[in-house]
Amino acid sequence: MAETIVVTSGKGGVGKTTTSASIACGLARHGKRVAVIDFDIGLRNLDLIMGCERRVVYDFVNVIQGDCTLKQALIKDKRIESLYVLAASQTRDKDALTADGVRGVLDGLAADGFEYIICDSPAGIEKGAHLAMYFADRAVVVVNPEVSSVRDSDRILGLLASKTQRAEQGNGGVKEHLLLTRYSPSRVAGGEMLSVNDVKEILGLDVVGVVPESPDVLSASNAGVPVILNDGSNAALAYQDAVSRLLGETVPLRFIEEPKKGFLARMFGL
Amino acid sequence: MDLLALFRKPPSTASVAKERLRIIVAQERGARGSPDYLPLLRRELLEVIRRYVNVDPSAVQINLGRDDGHEVLELSVALPQGRARR
């Protein structure tokens, strides 16, 4: 039984693709068979973040339109055995993605023994975003601790609660998780940034992860290696914790407090 | 002059953000369940009213409430002070 998880946010640039890539890698490192799909038709980017951009031959729309088989379009990750990527098409045809087509691909992946299907949603609330969430069992809502991101994600929560298959069938709806990115504990301590609890309270969601602001995220995308694989990085550890929580483990939140300064550091303002 | 104000810290920007979000999110969630035609209805009613009275766009409030199993469409128009111009 495959579980479909949509990574969504409404607002662009908050870290959906970074999160999709890292969650997919993390689940696969737990031995799960995982496919991660880029739903951003026309603006393919997941392949770059995953580092497989030169191996894209067929894409999501090719599969839907029957130009190739699902197997031909799945790109096997070179680092993790059980991880596959399905790239977005670069077509400008907005109608290339259809509900039946997406359903067919998801069913095909489930039949092929995939345990997790991660849907990397495009920004906005248009067709791509709608179809990325429509078949989801769970949703990871990526939010920056910033007013426009929080408001947009609440809009997405409204859509998850009404415009998804689970909502329409009335069987419990989509399970929603909050994942905060670009979190800066020192700015929170200084009263300049919304805290985890503020965002949690405003949106009324369970927190599945808090990823600290980190230069490693940019380095990871430069290199085409999902940041979760950079074991020395706090961002990687935070994503690893988030993956454990998605798998049902109870893991305390890390990196949400400002590191305590020692006596000397305080004395000399270091 | 309020001398105490000199010592009082202004609210942090994060708490301002939280308060603004709390209000707008509650307002948008409230509107979520309501039918799609309400904004259009509001706009058209405003047009008609403005043919007779020069009211401010924010003066027309439409609310859909629920009362004992039936829905109540509540319309309130705040008329400008004094005589209607025009």
User: Residues of A with CB below 8 A from B20's CB?
Assistant: 147
Which of A154, A155, A194 lies nearest to residue B18, judging by beta carbons? Answer: A194
DSSP letter at A89 equals: P
- Mutation pick from A11, A125, A141, A151 vs chain B, by most beta carbons of B within 10 Å, is A151
Q: In whole angstroms, give the CA distance from residue A120 to residue A15.
A: 10
pLDDT at B1 over 60: no
Return the C-alpha torsion angle A17, A18, A19, A23, nearest 10.
100
C-alpha torsion sign, points B30, B33, B39, B45: negative
Render pLDDT for A80-127 as a digit per residue (tens, 0 to 9).
999 999 999 998 787 899 999 999 999 999 999 999 999 999 999 999
In chain A, which residue's Cα lies nearest the Cα of B20?
Answer: A147
Which of B13, B20, B29 lies nearest to residue A191, judging by beta carbons? Answer: B13
Report the Cα A85 to chain-centroid distance in Å: 13
Q: Do A194 and B25 touch (CB under 8 A)?
A: no
Query: A50 CB near a chain B CB, below 8 Å?
Result: no
pLDDT recorded at residue A74: 98
User: Residues of B with CB below 8 A from A198's CB?
Assistant: 14, 17-18
pLDDT at A175 over 90: yes
Between the two ends of chain A, the Cα-to-Cα distance in Å is: 53
Cβ-based burial of B81 (10 A; exposed 0-12, middle 13-18, buried ≥19) = exposed
Q: In whole angstroms, give the CA distance from residue A215 to residue A162.
A: 37
Q: Do B14 and A188 touch (CB under 8 A)?
A: yes
pTM: 0.84
Query: B35 CB near a chain A CB, below 8 Å?
Result: no
ipTM of the complex: 0.86
- Strand locations in chain A (E): 3-8, 34-38, 75-76, 83-86, 116-120, 138-143, 175-183, 206-212
Query: B23 CB near a chain A CB, below 8 Å?
Result: no
**Number of other CB atoms surrounding residue A128 within 10 Å:** 22
Q: What is the SS3 assignment for A267?
A: helix
Average pLDDT, chain A: 95
Query: B12 CB near a chain A CB, below 8 Å?
Result: yes
> pLDDT exceeding 70 applies to what percent of chain A?
98
Mean pLDDT in residue range A30-58: 97
Higher-confidence residue of B80 and A220: namely: A220
Rg of chain B over Cα atoms, rounded to whole angstroms, equals 19
**Strands A75-76 and A83-86, how do they pair?**
antiparallel
Return the C-alpha torsion angle A218, A222, A224, A225, nearest 10.
-50
Q: Do B17 and A154 touch (CB under 8 A)?
A: no
> pLDDT exceeding 90 applies to what percent of chain B?
16
Higher-confidence residue of B69 and B76: namely: B76
- Helix A127-134 with A99-111: angle, nearest 10 deg: 40
pLDDT recorded at residue A78: 97
Higher-confidence residue of B54 and A118: namely: A118
Render pLDDT for A221-239 as a digit per residue (tens, 0 to 9).
999 999 999 999 999 999 9
Query: A67 CB near a chain B CB, below 8 Å?
Result: no
